């Protein structure tokens, strides 16, 4: 079953919070809403009850358990959640209609990426950067969590930090599902550091794992798109990389740029960085073409 409301929305978060405590009847309604949100948003209470195998009274109790005063208020929230889920598709259609040529699209994308990087640079605070670099260099272990498109940024950071940091670097979400990542992070504690990476539409798993790390006492670093991200209030340090794109759901360019800059700053602070690069070059010499 494809859950169209998987992106972080108020309604999806409300369902996720109470789902473990729901009765079987309420779970059937929740599953139906998550699996068929468009149908549910246009259904009367009688139709939703029939299609989820519940009664009208059960639907009413489910709606109130989510914190909505009425079924009408619930339908408005569901419609809002659908708009958020479909926004990238709508933006894609609008931008495609406005594009005159392939080359025009190409140049527009580069300009947007440049604007994203410039905005990311403008948001940087020197004192915060210094504190972040010191925290990474002083960490006992570094856990990295990301999914979707952010997975590639996480792999890049993992390779860079493993080269320049003495800490063990663990890409916790690289293999297996969330359960495996939670097992990794159960070992986190004071002295450890977790880097969480997510841009719209935000990964609920990444946000939950970041919260779990903070609860365990680890320092949390967020690499995300802005202060309204759900990762921002969790983080001890945050790097903001706007991810706007004229046609794609998001652009990773600014996120990669910040990741590259962070690794570069870490390398500068390591007096043995040159030797580390020499060792790497010697070990890989046979793989080079020239």
Q: What average pLDDT does this structure show over 77-106?
A: 64
Same domain, 266 and 229: yes
| Strand 193-197 versus strand 237-240 pairing type | unpaired
CATH number of the domain residue 247 falls in:
3.40.50.10490
Show the domain range for 161: 115-283
Mean pLDDT, the chain, rounded, equals 84
Any residues with CB less than 8 A from the CB of 121 and at least 6 apart, and which? none
- Give the pLDDT of residue 86: 56
- Give the pLDDT of residue 38: 79
DSSP 224: E
Same domain, 176 and 265: yes
Same domain, 173 and 61: no
Considering the domain boundaries, does residue 171 fall inside one?
yes
Question: Does the pTM of the predicted model rise above 0.95?
Answer: no
Considering the domain boundaries, does residue 276 fall inside one?
yes
Q: Chain centroid to CA 120: how far?
A: 17
Phi and psi (nearest 5°) for 142? -125, 120
| 93 pLDDT higher than 60 | no
Same domain, 126 and 232: yes
- Give the pLDDT of residue 83: 66
Residue 3 pLDDT class (50, 70, 90 cuts) = very low
The mean-pLDDT minimum among 53-62, 198-207, 257-266 falls in: 198-207
- Contact between 29 and 59 under an 8 Å Cβ cutoff? The reply is yes
């Amino acid at each position: 079953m494809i859950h169209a409301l998987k992106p972080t929305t108020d309604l999806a978060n409300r369902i996720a919070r109470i789902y473990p405590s729901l009765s079987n009847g309420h779970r059937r309604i929740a599953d139906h809403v998550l699996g068929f949100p468009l149908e549910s948003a246009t259904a009367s209470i009688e139709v939703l009850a029939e299609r989820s195998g519940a009664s009208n009274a059960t639907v009413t109790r489910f709606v109130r358990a989510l914190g909505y005063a009425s079924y009408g208020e619930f339908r408005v929230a569901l419609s809002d959640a659908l708009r958020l889920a479909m926004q990238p598709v709508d933006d894609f259609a609008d931008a495609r209609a406005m594009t005159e040529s392939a080359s025009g699209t190409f140049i527009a994308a580069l300009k947007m990426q440049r604007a994203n990087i410039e905005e990311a640079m403008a948001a940087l605070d020197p004192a915060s950067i210094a504190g972040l670099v010191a925290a990474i260099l002083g960490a006992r272990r570094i856990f990295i969590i990301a999914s979707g498109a952010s997975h590639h940024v996480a792999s890049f950071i993992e390779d860079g930090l493993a080269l320049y940091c003495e800490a063990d670097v663990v890409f916790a979400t690289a293999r297996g599902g969330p359960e495996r990542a939670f097992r990794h992070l159960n070992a986190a504690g004071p002295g450890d550091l977790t880097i969480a990476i997510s841009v719209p539409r935000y990964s609920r798993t990444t946000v939950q794992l970041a919260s779990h790390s903070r609860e365990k006492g680890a320092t949390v670093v967020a690499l995300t798109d802005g202060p309204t991200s759900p990762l921002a209030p969790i983080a001890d340090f945050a790097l903001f990389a706007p991810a706007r794109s004229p046609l794609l759901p998001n652009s990773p360019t600014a996120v990669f740029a910040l990741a590259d800059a962070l690794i570069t700053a870490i390398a500068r602070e390591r007096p043995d960085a040159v030797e580390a690069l020499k060792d790497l070059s010697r070990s890989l010499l046979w793989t080079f073409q020239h």
